[in-house]
Structure 1
Amino acid sequence: MFRRNKANIFAKGVFLSAGIVGLLSGFGILSLGVAYFASGFVMRSLCKHYLLRVHHFDDLLQNYRHQKQYSKRHILAMMWPNAWRDGLVTVTFYLTGQATVLLSSNFLSLYETGIYSFSMQVINAIIGISYGMFGAYIPAIQSAYVSRNRDLMRTLYAKSMACGLFLSITGITVFATIGIPIVKWLRHDFTIERPVLLVMAFSIYLIARRRNSACFISTMNRLPYTFSFIFFGILTLLCTYIGLSHFGLGLWGIVLIPLVVQSLYNNWKWNQVVNHYLRTTEYGLMKSGLKILLEMACKKWKKITSILWGRDIFDIIVRVIRRHSQVGYPRMILAEL
């Protein structure tokens, strides 16, 4: 999972770099498409490299290629009930997250579409990196569920959700205060409005938050959210299309309509389901997660300060002297210590 997050960070970095260079070179929205393609290519190449060269998956595949305990039909029958539901949910995530760019290209100007697409990709990159801890904890959460260790599941989930919230707020704040002026300085005609950016960031954060809740539920081999994700995904597209085509809501419409529609049910329902299973609330979850993160930060800070003050080095020197000293002056010094 660490290497997947590493590949994801590299891919997002390629997207941001290629997108900024393309925009500064005057290629417009075409540069964002090329950057998105390059990002996906880098992500796939790095994941394939880690899978084959680091984890030696090709050797593992050769070992189990000729196993006869389970037939392909039997394996497919076990996987199919959840596989098709998960596939539909993946399509729905695309509809609620990426298909709005296609609608914006039909009803907004090229300038507004470029701003919307660029802002959305930057926010997705920030929030995706912020929730990297949760992705790393998924195997541990699954293991805790199998062993019925609900306290460990609550601890891991609370820590990762609080970390995601804190890093998302920090990243969006930094981009809104520093990143937007830098983009404006690099290209004077490319203006990102902070209110639109903040509302868009809030909407994308809620999508990522309930997506993580859905992922948590799926670790228990249940997918109860399939129908609601599909229904509200289609409803979001219809309402966005009507708002843009018949009411001319423009950029604010394409930002606010998905937020309002998804907040009717999905944005709170599945978070509530997970919190109910963990016997906590949203406030209690974030509070406990923040407490754990502060304890981790304090331990790291004590370790860093002890190294800076030389206490650890001093202890090491004392232990070495005690181990190797003979009778005489060193032992007298240690007696004084």
Structure 2
Amino acid sequence: MSQTIKVSRQDIIWGYFAQFFSIASGIIILPMVLRMLSAEEVGMNYLMLSVGQLVTLVDFGFSPQFGRNVTYVYSGAQRLLKNGIETLDSFVKVEINYSLLAALIQTARWIYRLMGGVVLLLMLTAGTGYVYQVTAGFSNLPNSLLIWLIYSAGVFFQIYYSYYSALLTGSGKIKESKKAMVYSNVLKIVLTYVLLYAGYGLLGVVIANFIYPFLTRYLSYRYYFTAGLRQTLSSYKVSVTEKIALFKTLWHNSKKLGITTLSGYLTYGASTLLAGIYLSLEEVASYGLMIQLIGLIGGISGIMFTIYQPRFASLRVSDNKTLFRKEVAYTMTIFYSFFVVGTILLITVAPYAIRFIGSNTTLPSAFILLACAGFRLLDHNFWNLCQTVIAGNDFPFLKSCLFTGLGITAGCYISLSWLHLGLWGIVLSTGLAQSAYNNWYWPRVILKQMNIGSLSFLKEGYREALLRLHI
């Protein structure tokens, strides 16, 4: 029987556990990485992460689009549309279309197998060429070529197995998805500590990252594919023609999300790559550390919003607009509160903590930290509200995101190569370009669609938070 996806207390608890351990793989490991690796190794690590993020754009928005469509099927949709969704009467219960679910899963396997191969090819060709350049022919760091090859293989398997997580969250098994994430991150943390203490340096970090996706895949498969579901799905045979037809349906909006993801990469990932060309590895390490810590703040702040995304999509199917608005206001209020507190701690506590652990890498000035965090808050606000529109399988902000991303890349290039503004040039180029249009226009439009103003949205969010948290 179909169902409106609900978020239980256990889902929320496990969601925070999962995000904690995901962050722990950064926060718990970070002091050791900063203390035991040289500034050059830390800079190399951030550059690898940026290259890895670039090649994962081959996904081109398919993963979130796949997860949302899984939610549509479990919520009772009998067919998947290129634009919009098939809304149902919330009082009418319909059976899950297992034929459609089987086709969706088999299509995803087919696509991810192809994407994994493309990702690995890009990592081993263009990616290797870039790393060769920034490491002076793999001579700046010991074992740099081996480190890059292992990192490339790890990225390949993360892409190849990533549809399992979308299956779990899309079907409402949020707790199970988070359990798999928690257990896998615990393994990664332990392995990283052991290998760093054993003296493997950056090589140990990438080995731990390589092993991580295999446990995630094993646990996700066990949680989702129960004996009953395997038996039900095994009776449906999906032809290549059906897979291609379904892929075309998914691709219609997936490509739009992919282009927007590309613009997001241009906003932050490309800036790190440009920094690697025009700045020293020590400066890249400082910038990368700042972006990582602000990213951690955003990740912690957005836990509740992320957990509720399958519910947003389900409420779109049932067309419950009032409850949908309340859920969005509640989760965004949690996000705002956590982000502001996190930013205060970043500016007042983090620099002292970095020095206390004996880090070889330092943070930029407090003014740069504040400016970067402020711009990121506006970016997150814009993108989170856009996610509520995407939950309805609509994507009206494609062009503005793409042009903004291209403008940011051009701005970073000019500020670094011509104006020599250093880190300030990167921060201002990204922040001002986003704030010129996206960060104010689309939030206003989306709130207007919800028939609510900005101040009323905040009031409703805090009111919902007080009610649900029993304050």
Give, in whole Å, the separation in 2 of the partners of 1:95 and 1:60: 41
Match for residue 419 of structure 2?
Answer: 247
Deviations 1:128-173 (A, max 9, x none): 1111111111122222222221111111111111100100111121
Return the match for 1:10 from 21, 28, 38.
21
Give, in whole Å, the separation in 1 of the partners of 2:393 and 2:311: 15
SS state of the match for residue 308, structure 2? Answer: helix
Question: Contact 2:39/2:360 (CA < 8 Å) preserved in 1?
Answer: no
* Structure holding more helix per residue: 1
Give, in whole Å, the separation in 1 of the partners of 2:408 and 2:417: 14
Change over 3 Å in CA distance of 1:26–1:145 after alignment to 2? closer
Q: Structure 1 regions of 5+ residues with no counterpart?
A: 302-337
Question: Contact 2:400/2:438 (CA < 8 Å) preserved in 1?
Answer: yes
Question: Contact 1:11/1:42 (CA < 8 Å) preserved in 2?
Answer: no
Change over 3 Å in CA distance of 1:4–1:293 after alignment to 2? closer
Number of residue pairs aligned between Structure 1 and Structure 2 = 299
Query: Which structure's relative contact order is higher, taking Cα pairs within 8 Å and 6+ residues apart?
Result: 2
SS state of the match for residue 331, structure 2? Answer: helix
Match for residue 267 of structure 1?
Answer: 439
Deviations 1:39-81 (A, max 9, x none): 9657745642442122237974674355257821221232121
Q: What amino acid does structure 1 have at the position aligned with 2:435? A: S
Change over 3 Å in CA distance of 1:47–1:289 after alignment to 2? farther
Change over 3 Å in CA distance of 1:119–1:246 after alignment to 2? same
Give, in whole Å, the separation in 2 of the partners of 1:171 and 1:58: 44
Question: Contact 1:100/1:254 (CA < 8 Å) preserved in 2?
Answer: yes
SS state of the match for residue 175, structure 1? Answer: helix
Question: Contact 1:199/1:255 (CA < 8 Å) preserved in 2?
Answer: yes
Q: What amino acid does structure 1 have at the position aligned with 2:311? A: A
Question: Contact 1:101/1:117 (CA < 8 Å) preserved in 2?
Answer: yes
Change over 3 Å in CA distance of 1:205–1:60 after alignment to 2? farther
Match for residue 48 of structure 1?
Answer: 217
Match for residue 310 of structure 2?
Answer: 139
SS state of the match for residue 98, structure 1? Answer: helix
CA drift of 1:104 comes to 1.4
Give, in whole Å, the separation in 2 of the partners of 1:62 and 1:207: 45
**Any residues of structure 2 matched to 1:315-330 within 5 Å, and which?**
none
Match for residue 280 of structure 1?
Answer: 452
Match for residue 109 of structure 1?
Answer: 280
SS state of the match for residue 100, structure 1? Answer: helix
Question: In the alignment, does 2:191 pair up with 1:22?
Answer: no
Q: What amino acid does structure 2 have at the position aligned with 1:232? A: T
Return the match for 2:328 from 157, 163, 167.
157
TM-score (norm 2): 0.58
Question: Contact 1:159/1:292 (CA < 8 Å) preserved in 2?
Answer: yes
Match for residue 291 of structure 2?
Answer: 120
Match for residue 209 of structure 1?
Answer: 381
Give, in whole Å, the separation in 2 of the partners of 1:92 and 1:149: 32
Give, in whole Å, the separation in 2 of the partners of 1:120 and 1:177: 16
Question: Contact 1:19/1:31 (CA < 8 Å) preserved in 2?
Answer: no
Change over 3 Å in CA distance of 1:14–1:221 after alignment to 2? same
SS state of the match for residue 395, structure 2? Answer: coil
**Any residues of structure 2 matched to 1:219-258 within 5 Å, and which?**
219-258=391-430
**Any residues of structure 2 matched to 1:77-116 within 5 Å, and which?**
77-116=248-287
SS state of the match for residue 349, structure 2? Answer: helix
Q: What amino acid does structure 2 have at the position aligned with 1:253? A: G
TM-score (norm 1): 0.80
CA drift of 1:17 comes to 3.0
Question: Contact 2:304/2:334 (CA < 8 Å) preserved in 1?
Answer: yes
Percent of residue pairs identical? 26
Change over 3 Å in CA distance of 1:34–1:258 after alignment to 2? closer
Give, in whole Å, the separation in 2 of the partners of 1:187 and 1:222: 49
RMSD, aligned CA: 2.7
Give, in whole Å, the separation in 2 of the partners of 1:57 and 1:101: 43
Question: In the alignment, does 2:319 pair up with 1:148?
Answer: yes
Q: Structure 2 regions of 5+ residues with no counterpart?
A: 1-10, 50-150, 152-205
| Segment drifting more, 285-294 vs 185-194 | 185-194
| Segment drifting more, 28-37 vs 271-280 | 28-37
Question: Contact 1:133/1:163 (CA < 8 Å) preserved in 2?
Answer: yes
Change over 3 Å in CA distance of 1:271–1:58 after alignment to 2? farther
Match for residue 246 of structure 2?
Answer: 75
SS state of the match for residue 319, structure 2? Answer: coil
Give, in whole Å, the separation in 2 of the partners of 1:180 and 1:31: 17
